[in-house]
Amino acid sequence: MSVPPTPIPIAPQGAALVLLGGGARTAYQAGVLAGVAEVLRDEGWPAQRNPFPVVCGTSAGAINAAYFASRCADWQQALEEMQALWCSLQAHEVFEVGALQLLRGGARWLALMTLGWLIKQHPRSLLDNTPLAHTLKRLVQFETVGEAIQAGKLRAVSVAASSYTSGRHITFFQAHPDVQPWRRPGLWGISQPLGVEHLLASSALPFVFPATPLHGEVGPEYFGDGAMRQLAPLAPAIHLGAERALAIGVAEPHPEAGAMRQHLPPYPSVAEIAAHGMSSVFLDTLRADVQQANRINRMLADLPERVRASVPYRPLPTLTFMPSASIDAIAARHWHSMPRGARLLLQSVGIGTGRGAALASYLLFTPDYLTALVELGRADAAAQRESIAAFFKPDPHCA
């Protein structure tokens, strides 16, 4: 059955916070948001008014999104606590780090990868993220999301995930009743109360963490990391009614071309191949989507007002933050802080050493590394202080 296009909301409301993710790299967002909060306080932004009535999260960015949405009634405190939580987060709060558990998991993974065809089993994941479920239950107050929506403090919060079962990229959202579900080729928006399982699914790094079952449009399905097949990270903000978007990604800065190579480098390790695959999962679609939004903004600005009112588009001003320094390089400097059992298991496939530091950057949940990312985020926000202040000036004066 064909589904008519979802109409664009006539009266968009407020700014969207769009948070992309990538495992431990997502600590960078907490630093940026702490810097944004500092600017808003200095600009006299009302303490009782949430600056982000629409919050959209993908991958580990979904965890930050849900945490903020559940505490948005006191947005300043929420952003301060988010920064503190990332700076103190430990690996054992995200995945099992016991030597016996890690070795058992690693051995089972290798055995099933090589003999799975014989014993007819499949490895679920390299690491066990059961501790993350307990951490999320402790930190995210899901019952307050509905209360914030009902009280008018929040319009919508969304979490993106990718279905291994159907191949669809689905945005699960909890929102004001006037927000309608949407369908596009391979891209669906489904309304349902959010919970821990949505965050586990959205942040389930492929191969590293297990897929999570969720109830989709046609029944239960297995879901993995929301960064997979996410071609338009700004789209949920538009569907949920935002009038502009502040987006934070965690991709590497564009590398320099470098000197010409005379000899073939060493054959890539398992970790290097896995890191390349991971970077493909977390392909920097944010830059491309922002460029597309800017093209549409310019096109609309050039149209006569009468024509502009008749086209099914509206402008979406965006402010984007991306790391100004290499997170891979920061991870390489802090790799020694990984708990010994996890470090030995991961080093056995080349993670954390040489070019394997790229994959380590997603898994290094240690306070010194995470604090370095938070500090980088704060510095990048300080560098855009004037842009942040200008971004919020056009906001409506509604409470």
Lowest mean pLDDT among 24-33, 98-107, 244-253, 292-301: 98-107
| 361 belongs to the catalytic site | no
Instruction: Taking residues 216-225, report their average pLDDT.
Output: 90
**What is the average pLDDT across 72-82?**
94
Q: Could you tell me which residues come within 8 angstroms of residue 271 by beta carbon, excluding any fewer than 6 positions away?
A: 346, 349, 350, 351, 352, 353, 355, 356, 359
Question: Residue 326 has what pLDDT?
Answer: 92
Q: Supply the pTM of this predicted model.
A: 0.85
Distance of CA 299 to the CA centre of its chain: 29
What single-letter DSSP state applies at residue 266?
Answer: P
The helix/strand/coil state of 195 is: coil
Q: Report pLDDT for 36.
A: 97
- Secondary structure element (H or E) that encloses residue 158, with its range: strand 156-163
pLDDT tens sequence across 12-35: 458 999 999 889 999 999 999 999
Average pLDDT (350-375) is 82
pLDDT at 217: 79
Which single residue is written with the structure tokens 């006191």? 74
Q: What is the DSSP string of 100-157?
A: HHHHHHHHHHHHHHHHHHHHT-----SS--HHHHHHHHHH--THHHHHHHHTTS-SEE
**Stretch 232-246: mean pLDDT, rounded?**
93
Spatial contact of 194 and 174, defined as CB atoms under 8 Å apart? yes
Q: Which residue has the higher pLDDT, 269 or 248?
A: 248
- 3-class state of residue 189 by DSSP: strand
- State the pLDDT at residue 341: 67
Burial of 176 (0-12, 13-18, 19+ CB in 10 A): middle
- Say what percent of the chain tops pLDDT 90: 53
Instruction: Name the fold adopted by 15-252+273-392.
Output: Cytosolic phospholipase A2 catalytic domain (3.40.1090)
Higher pLDDT, 47 or 197: 197
The mean pLDDT of 164-189, rounded to a whole number, is: 91
Mean pLDDT calculated for residue range 264-293: 70
- Alpha helices for the chain (secondary structure H): 27-42, 60-70, 75-88, 99-119, 130-139, 143-150, 196-202, 235-239, 270-281, 285-302, 305-308, 327-334, 340-347, 357-363, 367-383, 385-392
For 149, the token pair is 């929506």
3-state secondary structure of 397: coil
Q: What's the token pair of residue 308?
A: 């502009």
Amino acid identity at 247: A
Average pLDDT value for the chain: 83
Give residue limits of the domains in the chain: 15-252+273-392
Please pick, among 225, 289, 328, 380, the residue that the annotation labels catalytic: 225
Q: What is the pLDDT of residues 179-220, one digit of tens each?
A: 999 998 778 999 999 999 999 999 998 878 999 999 987 889
User: Number of C-alpha atoms within 13 angstroms, CB side, residue 253?
Assistant: 12
**Residue 27's pLDDT is what?**
98
Query: Nearest Cα to 91, choosing from 284, 345, 354, 380?
Result: 345
The pLDDT value given to residue 154: 96
Which long-range contacts does 174-182 make (Cβ < 8 Å, 24+ apart)? Answer: 174/145, 174/146, 174/149, 175/149, 175/240, 176/149, 178/9, 179/9, 179/155, 179/239, 179/240, 179/241, 180/6, 181/6, 182/6, 182/239
326 is catalytic: no
More confident residue, 384 or 99: 384
